[in-house]
């Protein structure tokens, strides 16, 4: 009796499809490898001049090349970890700096109460802390914002939100802090200027 012709034809069709899939998969693998090599070339080329670029420019390029192997190629070329760049990317278009919250409730072990993004260590900022009614309660300046906020928490200051404005140098931040204190001295600041 044998296998009916329509089933035999379907089996042949299935075999042709399987062969086509193998061919497409082989081509896809070659394309993936070509993409991976191109990403490596872009990362190496970018590393030559990236120190002159803003974090936003670096992230824009990274986002365009992101995909399998991109993170490894990027960091191997000596470029900053894109996750760290995102963690510190300014989110306040009004000041060009950062705004965020401070919340100690429900934290997991080793979790920071300071929301992200936030200023990176070494970035001079003038910051304002806001109380539960969102009125300014303190202003200061720092180059280590994260540690400074933890210090304020340990000092007993009760704040729920913050704003940090970047400055090019620590001296510029001191001058801006002084101007802000002279304009309106928040209640937890002990003096109206430096």
pLDDT score for 106: 56
Long-range CB pairs of 182-186, under 8 A, 24+ apart, other chains included: 184/136, 186/128, 186/129, 186/136, 186/137, 186/138, 186/139
Low-confidence ranges of the chain (pLDDT < 50): 107
pLDDT in tens, 96-131: 898 988 776 654 555 566 677 888 889 999 999 999
Task: Tell me if residue 177 falls in helix, strand or coil.
Answer: helix
pLDDT for 33 equals: 93
Q: Given the DSSP bridges, would you call strands 98-101 and 161-166 parallel, antiparallel or unpaired?
A: antiparallel
Q: Dihedral of the CA atoms 168, 171, 172, 175 (nearest 10)?
A: 160
Q: What pLDDT score was predicted for residue 94?
A: 85
* 3-class DSSP state of 115: coil
What are the C-alpha distances in Å from 25 to residues 4, 30, 38, 85, 173? 32, 9, 20, 35, 57
pLDDT recorded at residue 124: 95
Whole-number Å distance between alpha carbons of 43 and 76: 9
> What is the structure's pLDDT at 83?
85
Backbone φ and ψ for 4, nearest 5 degrees, come out as: -60, 145
What's the pLDDT score for residue 187?
Answer: 85
Per-residue model confidence (pLDDT) at position 157? 87
CA distances from 188 to 52, 182, 191 (A): 39, 14, 9
Quick one: pLDDT at residue 100? 87
- CA gap 149, 136 in Å, rounded: 15
């Amino acid at each position: 009796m044998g296998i009916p012709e329509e089933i035999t034809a379907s089996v042949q069709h299935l075999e042709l499809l399987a062969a086509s899939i193998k061919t497409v998969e082989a081509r896809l693998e070659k394309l993936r490898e070509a993409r991976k090599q191109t990403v490596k070339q872009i990362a190496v080329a970018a590393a030559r001049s990236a120190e002159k670029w803003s974090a936003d420019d670096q992230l824009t390029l990274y986002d365009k090349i992101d995909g399998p192997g991109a993170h490894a190629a990027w960091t191997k070329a000596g470029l900053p970890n894109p996750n760290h760049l995102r963690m510190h990317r300014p989110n306040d278009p009004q000041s060009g700096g950062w705004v965020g919250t401070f919340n100690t409730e429900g934290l997991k072990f080793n979790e920071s109460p300071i929301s992200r993004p936030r200023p990176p260590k070494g970035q001079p900022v003038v910051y304002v802390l806001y109380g539960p009614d969102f009125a300014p309660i303190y202003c200061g300046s720092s180059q280590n914002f994260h540690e400074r906020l933890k210090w304020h928490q340990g000092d007993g200051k009760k704040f729920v939100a913050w704003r940090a404005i970047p400055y090019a140098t620590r001296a510029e931040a001191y001058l801006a802090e002084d101007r802000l204190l002279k304009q309106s001295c928040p209640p937890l600041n002990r003096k109206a200027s430096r």
